[in-house]
Amino acid sequence: MTGGTRRSARKRIGTLLPALALGALVSTAAPATAAPGGPDGTGPPAAYRMAPGAQEIHGAPAVTATPPLIPGGRTATDTIAPGERKFYGVRVDGTSDTYVSAVAAPRPGGTPGLRDGIDVALQRADGTRCGPARHRSFLAQGGAYPLADHAERLAGTDGPCAAAGTYYFVVTRGDADGGDPAPVPLELTTATRRPSTAPTSPSSPGTWSSEPPPAPVGPAKEVAGGSGFNDATDVRAGVWKDTIRPGETRFYRTPVAIGRQLFAKATFGDASGRVPYVANGVRLGLNDGARGHVTNRTDGYQGRTVAVPLAAPPPARDTASEGWYYLQVSLNAKAALGPSGAVPVTLTVITAPARSTAAVPPGPRTYHGPGGVTDRTASASPAPDGRLKTLGYVGVGTGTALLLGLGGWYLAARRPEE
């Protein structure tokens, strides 16, 4: 295989990655962790749980301030205030793909500003970016959710970050704009992998079906979701039942093999008391194995049953054949304005053979960095193209064209609100 052919094949590899440095895939589900708070689901909502033994570091305000290095293979923590920008050094070799992620975890029940959130990017010392920056918003007034995304440097490309050396991971927080001005905890991780030299798998189609297969049958199994990526509870294909308190986010992880596709649905049950209508009151989010954003779905909640579905593109072939996906289920803190306590939630997880609807193989596409510098060439597929742009950059709380096929499933799962 020539260098050009190898690069072209590698660009079609999506970022729905294997477990990477975040943990090896196991064949049996881990036991459910105990639900935080009281045995009846009362008490304060659980905050995001940072990785045990994480190293505390303090990002620098500029590259010239000699920023600390994010430890490779370990997790680091920091905080970031509204309007603040922090730089972290990252050592990169010349042969491995490198993914650097940030999790921003506001306190449960915090009220973010309308423009609050984080941007993440990876760049050279002179400011030239290794790829596109990504923006994530805290989403909901009165109900900030933990959010995460990553930036990457792909080896074997002709971009400005091809050489080995020290690069800089940049995290920028938005304006509080009348919201909570408190610093937000950050969790920082790095993951590397050797790039694949195998051709792209035929099971990674240019387009893919967003219509879910029939839901699993049988009783739901009890589970207690984790409070973050580090203690996310293993769930497999099936139906799972949990409880969630207002202001809380529960984390679950599920494996998806090459040639398979993930569908999920979170059904929030009736609250125990009267709840005012809360826009973006419930949420189902999805991140890949390197904590990269895949998609986020929200809906209103008024204490009555509502379902939130999502579909993910099938993973592309890589050096490993399976990877973890992280599901997050959230309930807005404003749902506690009534006498409601914990709300029942049912999580439906389906993995099915990926069904291609592509008739013509996709052509190449070039990404451009600052000043028109070519970063890398990627597949023009609307599927897992580099960073899942079709799903990853849609407006928060809006519909996504790729999810239109879920409309019938969605309507059947919810009752009309009054």
Residue 70 CA from chain centroid, whole number = 20
Backbone angles phi, psi at 296, to 5 degrees: -145, 130
Place of tokens 């970063």: 375
- Dihedral sign for Cα 213, 223, 399, 150, please: negative
Which residue in this structure is represented by tokens 């506001």? 106
pLDDT tens per residue, range 98-107 = 999 999 999 8
**Residues contacting residue 155 through CB under 8 Å, at least 6 positions apart:** 93, 94, 95, 96, 97, 98, 162, 195
At 82 the pLDDT is 95
Q: Tell me, what's the pLDDT at 198? A: 53
Residues 6+ apart with CB under 8 A from 180: 106, 107, 110, 111, 112, 113, 144
pLDDT of residue 14: 39
pTM score of the predicted model: 0.75
Per-residue pLDDT of the chain (418 residues; tens, 9 = 90+): 444 444 443 433 333 333 333 333 333 333 333 344 443 455 678 899 999 999 999 999 999 898 889 998 889 999 999 999 999 999 999 888 899 999 999 988 888 888 899 999 999 999 999 988 999 998 656 668 899 999 999 887 788 898 999 999 999 999 988 888 999 999 999 998 877 655 544 444 446 767 888 888 889 999 999 999 999 999 999 999 999 999 999 999 999 888 889 999 999 999 988 888 998 899 999 999 999 999 999 999 999 999 999 999 887 655 333 689 999 999 998 887 777 689 999 999 999 898 765 433 333 322 222 222 222 222 222 333 333 332 333 333 333 333 333 344 333 333 333 3
Query: What's the pLDDT at 325?
Result: 94
Q: Is residue 397, in this structure, part of any structural domain at all?
A: yes
Identify whether 418 is part of a domain. Answer: no
Q: Domain of 360?
A: 7-413
- On whether residue 78 sits in a domain, the answer given is yes
- Which residue, 340, 347, 346, 345, is CA-closest to 42? 340
Could you tell me if 292 and 381 are in contact, meaning their C-beta atoms sit under 8 angstroms apart?
no
**329: enclosing H helix or E strand:** strand 322-331
Number of residues assigned to the chain: 418
DSSP secondary structure of 332-378: -GGGGSSS---EEEEEEEEEEE--B--SS---EEEEE-GGG-EEEEE
Rounded Cα gap, residues 387 and 115, in angstroms: 23
Query: What pLDDT score was predicted for residue 212?
Result: 80
Number of domains in the chain: 1
In a domain, 59, yes or no: yes
In a domain, 2, yes or no: no
Question: Is 40 a member of any domain?
Answer: yes
For residue 225 the two structure tokens come to 């979701």
1 domain-assigned: no
Q: What is the DSSP string of 111-126?
A: ---TT-EEEEEEE-TT
